[in-house]
């Protein structure tokens, strides 16, 4: 934890930054090729608009990353949100992906990707059933 006063003294950010928080992390990333874990160290800098103690800052940072890892990462990986090429009304499609993610999460099965697959199969079966019933 650092007082931001000296760092932002002569800048436009002075009224907006009250504390600077530096977090040091040891990160283990699994290497599929070797089957081993590779350790690395990283530093992150956070800014706060009010003075906070280290315990409160740590709690806020953990809560932020908890949301990122459960919601945003799942949407990026399984719904390929970051790969979207939609340029017209992207907010509409983002809300649709959010709604789909929430519905899948409420079903509480193993993984969202398995849920997507099951929903796709059910949709195909429904279309086939409608098509077959019309032909008779």
Confidence band for 118, pLDDT divided at 50, 70 and 90: confident
Mean pLDDT of 97-116: 71
The per-residue pLDDT for range 25-54, each reduced to its tens digit, is: 898 999 999 999 999 999 998 988 888 899
Task: Report the number of distinct structural domains present in the chain.
Answer: 2
Average predicted confidence (pLDDT) for the chain: 80
Q: Are residues 23 and 84 in the same domain?
A: no
Say yes or no: 57 and 47 in one domain.
no
- Distance from C-alpha of 105 to C-alpha of 129, rounded to nearest angstrom: 27
pLDDT tens digits along 77-88: 777 777 778 888
Query: Structural domain of residue 81, as residue ranges?
Result: 53-136
First to last CA, the chain: 73
- Which residues, other chains included, contact 5 with Cβ-Cβ below 8 Å and sequence gap of 6+? none
> Are 59 and 43 contained in the same domain?
no
pTM across the whole model: 0.50
């Amino acid at each position: 934890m650092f007082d931001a006063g000296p760092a932002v003294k002569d800048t436009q950010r002075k009224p907006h930054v009250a504390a600077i928080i530096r977090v040091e992390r040891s990160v283990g990333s699994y290497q599929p090729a070797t089957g081993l874990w590779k350790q690395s160290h990283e530093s992150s800098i956070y800014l706060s608009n009010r003075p906070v103690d280290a315990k409160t800052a740590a709690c806020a940072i953990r809560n932020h990353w908890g949301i990122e890892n459960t919601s945003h990462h799942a949407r990026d990986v399984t719904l390929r949100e970051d790969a979207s090429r939609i340029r017209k009304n992207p907010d509409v499609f983002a809300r649709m992906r959010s709604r789909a993610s929430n519905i899948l999460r409420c079903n509480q099965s193993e993984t969202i990707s398995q849920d997507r697959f099951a929903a796709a199969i059910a949709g195909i079966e429904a279309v086939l059933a409608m098509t077959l019933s019309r032909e008779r």
